Structure 1
Amino acid sequence: MKKILVVLFAAMLALPVVSVAQKLGHINSQELLSLMPESKTAEEKLKAKEQEVQKQMQDLQTQYQGLFKEYAEAMEAGSLSAEAQKAKEDSLQAMQTKIRSYQEQAQKDMEKLQKDLLGPIFEKANKAIQTVGTNNGFTYVFDTSARSIVFVSPNSEDILPLVKTELGI
């Protein structure tokens, strides 16, 4: 049995070593995206929407503070009946609910807008990377913007210039 294992091991060592050359590439996808004109346009639209949301949120906060001030002054003066006090408290509670609802809806709207605006840009960039990788015979293309890559070999080619050419930028 040992002789068979020794013979098999010796035979394996005698086999020619097959070396497959792998062409490696890397790209900083965040840099690519920042160079794409579509990204700038999308970022401007997102920033405008964010400013609109912040303005609306400030308006709601101002309204709430006004209601609260009226309530506090009336309570201090002791001029509220039990029914009026309850009505003001209900109004404050309703305004808090409105603010929370607005925040939640604004968050969803911003996420949807971001997906709608940036999704096609990511898709276009990814397609260009795939095309360059295929057309230039790369085995792997690593994204150096993903902080998990700790070393890029000098044998790895930066394909950013090729992808920029593919995208016409």
Structure 2
Amino acid sequence: MKQLKTLLIATVLFFGVNQAAQAQAKVAHVDISEIMGKMPAMIDAQKQLEKLSTTYDADYKTMVDEFQARVKKYDAEQATVSDKMNEERAKEVQDMQKRIVDFRDNAQKELQKKEQDLTKPLYDKIRASIQKVGKAKGFQYVVNADQLLLADGPNITVDVKKDLGF
């Protein structure tokens, strides 16, 4: 009786494991980079970021040019002015350097924040579309093709682009 019970448990386990091994998850892939690169809203966001970056670059260049001109002038006049004036000028140059570094750091932070503010809603929209298309097509998993070494399964990129309207 004990052997029959053991045999029955072994049989159930064997068929259960066999069924689990045969049941494969349905997986598809999507190229998020391609979608992002061709999404009209993302192209507009990139243009906004480039415009803002150009503005910051111009302001930064103006500050650096002014700094360099002032240093050159102060170096040329160093021998003809008093020590007190040279000390004041040295402090002024240090203050200008600090303002330039602060401006650059703040500009980078603002650009990163602006990029995040512009792209997060777009990523969320793409993610929702991928989930919608993936579920509609019966996939359990959808992975980004950028990180795959082999993408030999169904590609739903075109379907996601259609769902997004482009």
Output the aligned Cα RMSD. Answer: 2.2
Q: Following TM superposition, by how much is the alpha carbon of 1:17 offset from its aligned partner in structure 2, in angstroms? A: 2.4
SS in 1 for 2:37: helix
Given the superposition, is the C-alpha separation of residues 83 and 5 from structure 1 closer, same or farther in structure 2, using an over 3 Å criterion?
farther
Number of residue-to-residue matches in the alignment? 163
Aligned AA (1:91)? E
State the match for 1:90 in structure 2. 91
Q: What is the CA–CA distance in structure 1 between the aligned matches of 2:15 and 2:41, rounded to whole Å?
A: 57
Q: Following TM superposition, by how much is the alpha carbon of 1:67 offset from its aligned partner in structure 2, in angstroms? A: 1.0
Q: What is the CA–CA distance in structure 2 between the aligned matches of 1:7 and 1:167, rounded to whole Å?
A: 53
State the match for 1:32 in structure 2. 35
Q: What is the CA–CA distance in structure 1 between the aligned matches of 2:17 and 2:114, rounded to whole Å?
A: 57
Identify unmatched segments of 5+ residues in structure 2: none
Match of 1:161 among 132, 140, 158: 158
Q: Following TM superposition, by how much is the alpha carbon of 1:132 offset from its aligned partner in structure 2, in angstroms? A: 0.7
SS in 2 for 1:141: strand
Aligned AA (1:40)? I
Q: What is the CA–CA distance in structure 2 between the aligned matches of 1:83 and 1:133, rounded to whole Å?
A: 73
Q: What is the CA–CA distance in structure 2 between the aligned matches of 1:15 and 1:145, rounded to whole Å?
A: 35
SS in 1 for 2:146: coil
Moved over 4 A (4+): 4-11
Q: Following TM superposition, by how much is the alpha carbon of 1:33 offset from its aligned partner in structure 2, in angstroms? A: 0.8
SS in 1 for 2:139: coil
After TM superposition, the score normalised by the length of structure 2 is: 0.88
Residue 125 (structure 2) pairs with residue 121 (structure 1): no
Q: Following TM superposition, by how much is the alpha carbon of 1:21 offset from its aligned partner in structure 2, in angstroms? A: 3.7
Q: Following TM superposition, by how much is the alpha carbon of 1:137 offset from its aligned partner in structure 2, in angstroms? A: 1.1
Q: Following TM superposition, by how much is the alpha carbon of 1:11 offset from its aligned partner in structure 2, in angstroms? A: 5.9
Q: Following TM superposition, by how much is the alpha carbon of 1:56 offset from its aligned partner in structure 2, in angstroms? A: 0.4
State the match for 1:134 in structure 2. 135
Q: What is the CA–CA distance in structure 2 between the aligned matches of 1:97 and 1:33, rounded to whole Å?
A: 38
SS in 1 for 2:151: coil
Q: What is the CA–CA distance in structure 2 between the aligned matches of 1:14 and 1:22, rounded to whole Å?
A: 18
Percent identity over the alignment is 22
After TM superposition, the score normalised by the length of structure 1 is: 0.87
State the match for 1:71 in structure 2. 74
